[in-house]
Amino acid sequence: MSLLIYGLINSVILALYTVGFSLTYGISGLANFAHGALYILSGFVAWSLMNAAGLPFAVSGILAVLITAAIGFAFYWVLILRVRGIPLAELIVTFAAGVAILELMTWKGFYGLRYSLPVFVNGGVEIAGVGIDYQRLIVLASGLVLVIGLWLFVHHTRIGLAFRAMAQNERTALSIGIESDWIGALSLAFGAALAAIAAMVVLPLGVMESTIGYDVLIYALAVAIVGGLESTLGMIAGSFLIGYGQIAAARYIGAKWMVIVPLAAIVFVLSVKPSGIFGKFKELEERV
């Protein structure tokens, strides 16, 4: 039972890690390798606001999300725009920017025992004999809300539809008056905001450390690749596979093997079915 529940929570956490990454990729085809860095950056922004400016967590959390979104937006205009359309240069630039952010944070001293965001509600309940804290239930709920909200947003709002048009065909989108650079920048801003939201709900589970950024990136990549990039269904499937895989590996093989699961999954999927579980035919052709 605990396997079931904690597997679910682990999966939702992975989905939260990934949702911003795959939104950005789905809309503008940009694999944002600075995703993990933005995630943890938002955590430290919130922490700084709380501790330096003395704001309550609710306010600083929201501010952190907005600031991260703005950083994502600026990031596009300052850096990505100049290498747009060269996938490899995009990858290297985002990756390098992410590593630079993480190393700068380490250098600034955001590495230690005192960085932690408070949980929303203290305490916990018992479900079917398994102890679970309210924060994890909040993570579960927000994961659900975010995925559904994203679906509604993409399918039922004007800007969401513009996003979809863009995702399907950039040239057509241009011809009906959708500015691709704006959409690209917005997609990165939304991706960054989602990363920040994930950070706000997931980070209170533990303490913060700049190196989390690397892990988040790898988890996001693992989920996105295993499920098939940019497919929402694939993202959900990917996070469940890896999430349960990790918990099961920890329980039945040995806890050390948890970290191997996502890495092995990436390598396995890319070498066997590069388009991922729910990837479409088109992607397969492009990748191989």
CB of 176 to another protein, least distance (A): 24
Q: Which residues contact 178 (CB under 8 A, 6 or more apart)?
A: 162, 165, 166
Nearer to another protein by Cβ, of 141 and 267: the residue is 267
Radius of gyration of the chain (CA): 19
Other CB atoms within 10 A of residue 47 CB: 20
CB of 172 to another protein, least distance (A): 18
CB of 247 to another protein, least distance (A): 6
Nearer to another protein by Cβ, of 177 and 285: the residue is 285
Nearer to another protein by Cβ, of 48 and 116: the residue is 116
Q: Which residues contact 163 (CB under 8 A, 6 or more apart)?
A: 27, 154, 183, 186, 187
229-251 burial, b for 16+ CB within 10 Å, e for fewer? bbbbebbbbbbbbbbbbbbebbe
Tokens coding 173: 């989108």
CB of 63 to another protein, least distance (A): 21
Nearer to another protein by Cβ, of 69 and 212: the residue is 212
